[in-house]
Amino acid sequence: MSEWLSLLHQLDLLWPWWLALLPLPWLVRQLLPPAPEEPPLLAPTLFDTAKQSVGGNQLMRKVAKHAIPLWAWLLWALVVLAAMRPVWYLTPTPLIQQGKDIMLAVDLSGSMEKPDMRLHGQAADRLSVVKEVVQDFIQSRENDRLGLVVFGSRAFVISPLTYDLNSVKTQLQEAQIGMAGDNTAIGDAIGLTIKHLQQAGKQKGVLILLTDGANTDGVVQPLEAAAQAKRFGLKIYTIAIGRSGGRGGGYDYDEATLKRIAEITGGQFYLARNPQQLAEIYEAINRLEQTPYAVHSYRAHTELFVWPLGAVLLISLTLALRRRK
């Protein structure tokens, strides 16, 4: 019994209001005046078909006479049923409304090659540590679109916003120190991110910018870019990796500027001196940027109107063939 109920639950009528047309022939017959008596047409009627099919048997002729309206009503009911668009729903498919657009900006300047970190018990350069940690963060954002910007003396988008997280991870792993130049253009990285989001039709987003140096190159100054980001709606989390220092050293991050960028855009500043701290930072950002997504279901369906229409055609052809016998 439950199986039958389950099957019935999968059936539905998309246009059920067409059922109101079912009594239309009866209403027409009742409301319109009778047709005047005229010589009969030579064209065979449904009654003639039924009469010929039962031969000369008087009883069968009476049955056929009463069956004529039933056949007519059956054909009309099938036409109305087809107009109501019966459908068969398949198993519901869950759909997820994706949430945020997150851009990752990674410093590829020459200083990222400095081997002052330890990874899996061995000495490692800063970029290798970043790749190890960031790929876990990328994998955790399965309901978001991610993109990747790399910067040195210039900034480049090497992975546009995409739901293909494996593609973003691959691009990150293939990034090499110096491929964008040896200096550090933080302002250009922010400006390029804004431009990319605008071209993608976005009105807001999140940028996680990681660097180990101060801004030493580029066209756009970092604080100027931060002001543009605020107007656009781009929140920036800044992460400094390595040892602290002042504005002048190419190997030293500019803590004051990175903090100010985060403050202007509503983000936060973090400092990572080792892989564990860096992993904790990305976990903290992951918690702060929870994706508010909703799960909906989509039920694919198969149209069934062809079956009642096919029945109309089959019955009509059968009656026509019987008339010719």
Which tens digit of pLDDT belongs to each residue from 266-281?
Answer: 999 999 999 999 999 9
Q: Check pLDDT > 90 for residue 129.
A: yes
Closest CA to 97 of 295, 305, 304, 317: 295
| pLDDT for 80 beyond 70 | yes
Do 138 and 272 lie in one domain? The reply is yes
Residue that wins the pLDDT comparison between 218 and 99: 218
User: To which residue do tokens 């903090």 refer?
Assistant: 259
Alpha helices in 183-305 (DSSP H): 186-199, 222-232, 255-265, 275-288
Q: How far apart are CA 83 and CA 14, in angstroms?
A: 9
Backbone angles phi, psi at 264, to 5 degrees: -60, -40
**Which helix (H) or strand (E) is 159 found in, with range?**
strand 155-162
Query: Mean pLDDT over residues 87-102, rounded?
Result: 73
Average pLDDT value for the chain:
83
Residue 69 pLDDT class (50, 70, 90 cuts): confident
Flag whether pLDDT at 142 surpasses 90.
no
Chain centroid, CA 189 distance in Å: 28
Q: Please give the structure tokens belonging to residue 11.
A: 């059936």
Q: Quick check: helix, strand or coil at residue 143?
A: coil
CA 147 to chain centre: 17
Q: Are residues 283 and 309 in the same domain?
A: no
Which range of residues forms the domain containing residue 100? Answer: 96-295
Give yes or no: residues 100 and 154 share one domain: yes
Section 195-203 average pLDDT: 90
User: Are 193 and 281 within one domain?
Assistant: yes
The pLDDT assigned to 250 comes to 44
Task: Tell me which DSSP letter residue 213 carries.
Answer: S
- The answer on pLDDT for 298 being more than 70 is no
Do residues 133 and 161 both lie within one domain?
yes
Q: Which of 133, 158, 154, 156 is nearest to 146 (CA)?
A: 158
Answer yes or no: pTM beyond 0.75: no
Do 165 and 67 reside in the same domain of the chain?
no
Both 281 and 198 in a single domain? yes
Residues 27 and 76 in one domain: yes
Asked whether residue 20 falls in the same domain as residue 57, the answer is yes
Domain check: are 195 and 180 in the same one? Answer: yes
| Ramachandran bin of 271, using left for φ above 0, alpha for ψ from -120 to 50, beta for the remaining angles | beta
The Cα–Cα gap between 104 and 177 comes to: 16
**At residue 57, does pLDDT exceed 60?**
no
